Amino acid sequence: MKRKSLKYGLVASMIMMLVGCSHNSNKETTKSAKQDLEEKQVVVKNTETKEDTNKHEEDVSFDNHEYTYDVVTGATQTTFGSTPPAIYTKEEKMKKMFWSNQPPLGLLEGYYYKNEGLFKGNNYGIVEVVTHPETAGILNVEFTEFASESYYEPKYAGANKRLSDYAFFQADNTRTDETLVTVVNGITYVEKQMRDENRVTGDFLTVKGSSTSAREGFMPLAEQMKDWIREPYENKYFGFAKELPNGLIGRLQVVTTKDKITDVRYDEYFADQPEKMTDESLKPYYRQSKYYSLDYNKETNQDFIKFADKLTKEIKDNQTLDIANEELKKHPSYQTYNELRQQLDINKIW
């Protein structure tokens, strides 16, 4: 009888120990989860210092709007599919929210690297990096995300999330009432950290409420590039963008491979603030671009897309930025293109 009591006592002790270990383990897991999701508030603004030898401050400037973000050190859970009660009216909310579509302004040139692929939800991501031809320091990082072809809102199937009105679609949903951020905020904040810290690997802070694309898409794609971007490459990048008198931004990008033109992109960006644009008819498209704005292209029968695509083909076919095609020269955007292309020396040797 004594032996039986001892046996039951040992079993009870073991159970208590296991319960205790489990309790401690749960405490540690909870503690770890809290650490992974540590939150803090930061004020973000692009500042430039002449001591930074990886940058050409005199040549390039970035969006200098001041943002206040709640940022996290780990992935945040999504509220996708939910429609919580509204906190603000639409007018109140738009006064509180801000994101920028502004590309780097000025002259940007260096070695060019690109990685792309599908990530969660079959969205397609592209990471582009430009590095200094002498120091290999990161001059620019640019993320582009296209919604999946089966996106639940048909309008945005295959759309460029950054340069269409997709961010306004997000802003209209009450899911963003608490965070007051869109995918563009999440994209530009990580880009800035990579530029400032001269790295594409390791962990980065992400904006609370807009971390999924960054952590599950762009950061892994960028991580794969960590060794590529430190070596000179056969691809060179030449880009120039400037604000136009009408409030838009003209941007021309050229990539050469072994000194042959392999990629050309010309676009015009609508201003971040509608009041900066002189043409009243263009104000509804603010924070978008002519090439990727769904509504603008529907309204204009894709006139700008047709021009830009023909321009690209003409340049690649003839291997020169000097256009002889008279039809292209008649287009209203040709004059701006011609001004921008004169700023690029694609035959520069380094």
**Measuring CA to CA, which residue among 307, 229, 237 is closest to residue 266?**
307
pLDDT for the residue 77: 55
Residue 16 DSSP symbol: H
pLDDT for the residue 184: 97
pLDDT for the residue 48: 54
State the Cα–Cα distance between residues 120 and 125, nearest whole angstrom: 10
Print pLDDT tens along the chain (350 aa): 433 333 334 334 433 333 333 334 333 333 333 444 578 999 998 765 434 445 444 589 999 999 999 999 876 655 555 678 999 999 999 999 999 999 999 999 999 999 999 988 899 999 999 999 999 999 999 999 999 999 999 999 999 999 999 999 999 999 999 999 999 999 999 999 999 999 999 999 999 988 888 998 999 999 999 999 999 889 999 999 999 999 999 999 999 999 999 999 999 999 999 999 999 999 999 999 999 999 999 999 999 999 999 999 999 999 999 999 999 999 999 999 999 999 999 999 88
pLDDT for the residue 212: 86
State the Cα–Cα distance between residues 243 and 271, nearest whole angstrom: 9
pLDDT digits (tens, 9 = 90+) for 106-142: 999 999 999 999 988 899 999 999 999 999 999 999 9
**Bridge partners of residue 225, in order along the sequence:** none
**Measuring CA to CA, which residue among 111, 116, 115 is closest to residue 137?**
111
State the Cα–Cα distance between residues 229 and 136, nearest whole angstrom: 7
**Measuring CA to CA, which residue among 339, 338, 60 is closest to residue 195?**
60
Cα 31 to chain centroid distance, Å, stands at 32
CATH architecture of 235-350: Alpha-Beta Complex (3.90)
| This prediction's pTM | 0.86
pLDDT digits (tens, 9 = 90+) for 155-171: 999 999 999 999 999 99
Q: Output the furthest CA–CA distance in the chain (Å, rounded).
A: 107
pLDDT for the residue 59: 81
- What element of type H or E holds 68? strand 67-72
Q: Is residue 267 within 8 Å of 284, Cβ to Cβ?
A: no
Mapping DSSP to helix (H, G, I), strand (E, B) and coil, where does residue 60 land?
strand
Domain ranges of the chain: 38-233, 235-350
Q: Is residue 270 within 8 Å of 248, Cβ to Cβ?
A: yes
Q: Six-digit token pair at 310?
A: 């023909």
